[in-house]
């Protein structure tokens, strides 16, 4: 029988590839530590793989491949820190099921700001990888990932989808300085777009969110995130439209 993952051992091993909060080029990755703290990306993956009973070899391969995806040089917000933040918010929302946690690891696995099909590609990757290790959650994980494309709740969505969408957009409700760093990192990911085009496009997206009856779908999400998120969105829109 193949060896199982040693969670206790993994907890005490350093994460040399991702422990720093600054990239080699000096760019800040996310600064989310002021908003959410918890285990590192790889520790969380090892714990999830052990919970699922995945064999060590495939689990390690998947974990390191996902880490490689989330440390691509063009990423500034959609990094491993974002994934650990989503995992923590899922826990706080009492929705940290294996399916939801798998969706967290895969939902931004494919991320190229120049493409418009990142969510579809990430969903397909999740379905392929999880299918290869015979996980019954594969289709539900893919469905949750697809729901992040529009951040709307499909009628036939898996039960974890509402909480997952709330966790993914919890950053909108962060304290002002953390939100501002998030906005800066998103801008950096779209450095290939002119400032005028970025400001107009980003403002349009944020205004669309403000027009929604609700940004969050769970009772807890609405109670904790809705008001501060709307305040942050209005503040960023004001900045974008003044440039």
| Paired tokens of 75 | 């990423």
Rounded Cα gap, residues 88 and 85, in angstroms: 5
Higher pLDDT, 159 or 24: 159
Give the closest residue to 12 by CA, choosing from 40, 37, 32: 40
Round to the nearest angstrom and report the end-to-end CA distance of the chain: 62
In the predicted structure, residue 11 carries a pLDDT above the cut 90: no
Q: How sure is the predictor about 38, in pLDDT bands with cuts at 50, 70 and 90?
A: low
Query: Which pTM value belongs to this model?
Result: 0.85
Residue 141 reports pLDDT greater than 90: yes
Contact 235, 176 (CB under 8 A): yes
CA–CA separation, 130 vs 75, rounded Å?
Answer: 24
Decide: 82 and 40 in contact? Cβ < 8 Å.
Answer: no
Measured distance CA(152)–CA(215) in Å, rounded = 9
Q: 68 pLDDT exceeds 90?
A: yes
Confidence of residue 4 (pLDDT cuts 50, 70, 90): very low
Strand, coil or helix: what is 154? coil
Of residues 205 and 27, more confidently modeled: 205
Q: Are 217 and 162 in contact (CB under 8 A)?
A: yes
Tokens for 242?
């003044």
Percent residues over pLDDT 90 in the chain: 84
- pLDDT for residue 39: 77
List for the chain the helix, strand, coil content (%; round to 5).
60, 0, 35
Query: Which residue, among 122, 108, 133, has the nearest Cα to 48 in the 3D structure?
Result: 133
pLDDT at 58: 96
The string of pLDDT tens digits covering residues 201-217 is: 999 999 999 999 999 99
Q: What angle do CA 142, 165, 236 make, to 5 degrees?
A: 130
> Cα(6)–Cα(11) distance, rounded to whole angstroms?
9
How far is it, in rounded angstroms, from Cα 69 to Cα 61?
12
Tell me 163's DSSP state: H
């Amino acid at each position: 029988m193949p060896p199982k993952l040693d969670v206790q051992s993994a907890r005490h091993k350093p994460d040399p590839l991702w422990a720093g909060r600054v990239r080699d080029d000096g760019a800040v990755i996310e600064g989310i530590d002021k908003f959410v703290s918890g285990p590192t990306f790889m520790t969380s993956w090892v714990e999830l793989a052990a919970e699922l009973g995945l064999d060590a070899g495939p689990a390690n391969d998947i974990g390191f491949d996902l880490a490689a995806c989330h440390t691509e040089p063009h990423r500034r917000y959609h990094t491993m820190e974002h994934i650990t933040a989503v995992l923590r918010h899922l826990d706080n929302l009492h929705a940290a099921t294996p399916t939801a946690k798998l969706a967290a690891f895969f939902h931004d696995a494919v991320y190229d700001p120049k493409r418009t099909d990142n969510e579809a590609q990430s969903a397909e990757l999740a379905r392929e990888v999880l299918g290869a290790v015979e996980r019954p959650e594969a289709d539900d994980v893919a469905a949750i990932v697809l729901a992040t494309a529009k951040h709307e709740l499909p009628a036939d969505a898996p039960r974890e989808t509402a909480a997952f969408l709330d966790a993914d957009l919890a950053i909108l409700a962060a304290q002002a300085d953390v939100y501002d760093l998030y906005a800066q990192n998103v801008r950096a990911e779209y450095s290939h777009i002119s400032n005028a085009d970025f400001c107009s496009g980003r403002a349009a997206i944020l205004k669309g969110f403000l027009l929604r009856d609700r940004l969050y779908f769970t009772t807890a999400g609405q109670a904790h995130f809705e008001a501060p998120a709307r305040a942050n969105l209005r503040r960023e829109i004001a900045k974008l439209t003044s440039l």
